[in-house]
Amino acid sequence: MSKKAFGIDIGGSGIKGAPVHLGKGELAADRLRLATPQPSTPDAVADTVAELVSSFEIEDGMPVGVTFPAVIQDGVALTAANVDDAWIGTDVDALLTERTGHDVFVVNDADAAGIAEMTFGAGRGTTGVVQVITLGTGVGSATFVDGKLVPNTELGHLLLHGDSAEKYMASSIREKEELDWGTWAGRLQEYFSHLEFLFSPTRIIVGGGVSKKHKKFLPLLDLTTEIVPAELRNEAGIIGAAVLARAEQKARRSR
């Protein structure tokens, strides 16, 4: 069996994909990015995903993992963030499998990043409760217990000051309100202290684009829990989706 799978990361503005070497945890070719169609309806996005997959010469039977900005249950999107509301209730697995000709397995985007970090990155070998928190336009989360994913944990929506926490401490809020690093770190302290109280995690991994600047804010936090920057960053979604796709295909074939 090939040690490769294909990973795709669907976002509000771009759809990125590449084959992934599952032994090394790295892209096996340069990734390709296509613009997310507007409006981002299921048919339009499915066409773009098919175009992306067909742009690579990949073997028949290679599974395709796809991140999607939604709560996903049994391959069905129950919500939709930064994509068209027509996705709600859509069997994403079935639609993209039909359109690409490959077995497709869809996963929440933050969960995919978490899978990558737990397999190849900052969560590798860590037991207990591990939480991967992505700081970006909003706040994504992935939670693992002894390495097993607890899917669709929307911890960016924990209440803080009477509203979703992400509206108070997302990276986009720091930029919008022009907060200095110290002031923003104070908001992160509130959030992560709350998370620590609720879950007693072994380790917290902070991802998202701002994690490249982790030295400006992580040292300012005072937590009992070890808190570290993500290692895979922009490639985490693609890699995590590919890892999941190979595991799900293997499980399906063994049934």
The segments of the chain whose pLDDT lies below 50 read 1
Q: What is the pLDDT of residue 253?
A: 82
Q: Burial level of 170, CB count in 10 A (0-12/13-18/19+)?
A: buried
Q: What angle do CA 245, 92, 139 make, to 5 degrees?
A: 80
Tell me the CA distances in angstroms from 35 to 19, 163, 168, one per residue in order. Answer: 19, 32, 29
Q: What is the pLDDT of residue 217?
A: 98
Those residues whose C-beta lies under 8 Å from the C-beta of residue 48, and which sit 6 or more positions away, are: 15, 34, 35, 36, 37
Supply the pTM of this predicted model. Answer: 0.94
Q: What is the pLDDT of residue 233?
A: 83
- Side chain identity at residue 227, one-letter code: I
Say if residues 131 and 142 touch (Cβ distance below 8 Å). yes
Complete DSSP assignment for the chain: --SEEEEEEE-SSEEEEEEEETTTTEESS--EEEEPPSS--HHHHHHHHHHHHHTS---TT--EEEEESS-EETTEES--SSS-GGGTT-BHHHHHHHHHSS-EEEEEHHHHHHHHHHHHSTTTT--SEEEEEEESSSEEEEEEETTEEETT--GGGSEETTEETHHHHSHHHHHHTT--HHHHHHHHHHHHHHHHHHH--SEEEEESGGGGGGGGTGGG---SSEEEE-SSGGGHHHHHHHHHHHHHHHHHHH-
CA-CA distance, 193 to 190, in Å (whole number)?
5
Kindly list the structural domains of the chain, giving each domain's residue range(s) and its CATH number in brackets, ordered by start: 4-109 (3.30.420.40), 122-230 (3.30.420.40)
Q: What is the pLDDT of residue 255?
A: 75
Q: What is the pLDDT of residue 1?
A: 46
pLDDT digit string, tens, across residues 179-194 = 999 999 999 999 999 9
